[in-house]
Amino acid sequence: MLSGAGYAVRTIASRYALSLGGWMPNSIGNAQALWSLLFMVVAWGFCFALWELHVMGGGDSKTLMGLVALFPNTEFVVFIAAAVLVLSVPLLLLKLRRKDKGSIQRTLRGRFRRGAFFPTQKELEEQGRPYAWTFCLPGVVYLWCLW
């Protein structure tokens, strides 16, 4: 496993022409590549945290990590966040349209009293839905129209 990690670091360093002798990149152009790499690692950590908190399933998290690896910049992350919001709010409203407001409020109040802000693994497995398409569709639109 460590040899694989070493290979990955050497490959990334050679692709972005980073100096392995120090922490500074070889040129200004490579500084942007280094910041993109750092941004990607931070975004991956955020996706991993969402998975650990059971907010997202493993496949959804890996899909989002792959998209951020393809487009490691803040413009893409803002675009994907806005697009996921636009796609997810109607889905949430469709899911909640059959429930009365009182039961929704009781459920939320009960969760906050218990301190259960995030779903459990069991809830995610039983009630969770794969929403990777809400990441992939904006990714395709970004690729076709904005990149």
Instruction: Look at residue 11 and tell me if it is in a domain.
Output: no
Report the number of distinct structural domains present in the chain: 1
At 129, the pLDDT band (50, 70, 90 cuts) reads confident
**Do the Cβ atoms of 28 and 15 come closer than 8 Å?**
no
Burial 41-73, CB ≥16 within 10 A → b, else e: eebbeebeebbeebbbbeebbbbbbebbeebbb
How far is it, in rounded angstroms, from Cα 116 to Cα 54? 11
Instruction: Look at residue 33 and tell me if it is in a domain.
Output: no
* Residue 30 buriedness (CB in 10 A; 0-12 / 13-18 / 19+): middle
Per-residue CA distances from 140 to 52, 104, 129, 135, 143 (Å): 27, 35, 21, 9, 5
Instruction: Look at residue 71 and tell me if it is in a domain.
Output: yes
Instruction: Look at residue 3 and tell me if it is in a domain.
Output: no
At 82, the pLDDT band (50, 70, 90 cuts) reads very high
In 3D space, the residue among 48, 43, 51, 49 whose CA is nearest the CA of residue 70 turns out to be 43
Instruction: Look at residue 141 and tell me if it is in a domain.
Output: yes
The per-residue pLDDT for range 26-67, each reduced to its tens digit, is 445 567 778 888 888 999 999 999 889 888 888 888 999 999
Per-residue CA distances from 54 to 26, 59, 124 (Å): 40, 12, 7
Instruction: Look at residue 81 and tell me if it is in a domain.
Output: yes
Range of the domain at 51: 41-146
pLDDT value of position 8: 60
Instruction: Look at residue 137 and tell me if it is in a domain.
Output: yes
Instruction: Look at residue 21 and tell me if it is in a domain.
Output: no
pTM of the entire predicted model: 0.63
Report which of residues 25 and 6 the model is more confident about.
6
At 25, the pLDDT band (50, 70, 90 cuts) reads very low
